[in-house]
Amino acid sequence: MKIAVDVLLALAVGIALLSSIGVAAMRDPYQRLHFITPPASLSGLCVLLALFLGETQKQAGAKAALIVFLLYFMNSVVTHATARAHFVREKGTWPPPEPIELVHE
């Protein structure tokens, strides 16, 4: 069981590290925004599973589940708000006045 906990923690840290490096490597805010989600969803889930497997405290599981739930669902709201803020700063209006043209290759 301890090996499973260690593997899950290593996975969570690896995902978070790669995502933060991705935030630094990308060019514009739309690309960077994609890298908030993996730590909030996958890393959070891995930490939660590790807590349930190696749980030694009574209240830990419930509180950790609440925190991971909050991170998962609030992250999408904040990501949308940030993307909208960037769009308004670039284009000056929200919602877009005309349908956004798709690029056909």
Verify binding: residue 49, other proteins, rule CB under 8 A: no
Q: Is the dihedral of CA 30, 25, 16, 42 positive or negative?
A: positive
* Contact string (CB under 8 A) for other proteins, positions 6-45, x = contact: x--xx-xx--xx-xxx-xx---xx--xx-xx--xx--xx-
Residue closer to other proteins, measured from CB, 62 or 102? 62
Task: Give the list of residues 6+ apart from residue 83 with CB closer than 8 angstroms, or none.
Answer: 29, 30, 33
C-alpha pair distances (Å), 12 with each of 51, 80, 81: 12, 24, 26
Kindly identify the residues of this chain, within the stretch 75-104, that bind other proteins according to CB under 8 A.
75, 77-79, 81-82, 84-86, 88-89, 94
Q: Is there a contact between 52 and 11 (Cβ–Cβ < 8 Å)?
A: no
Residue closer to other proteins, measured from CB, 77 or 102? 77
Which of 56, 99, 100, 102: binder of other proteins (CB under 8 A)?
56
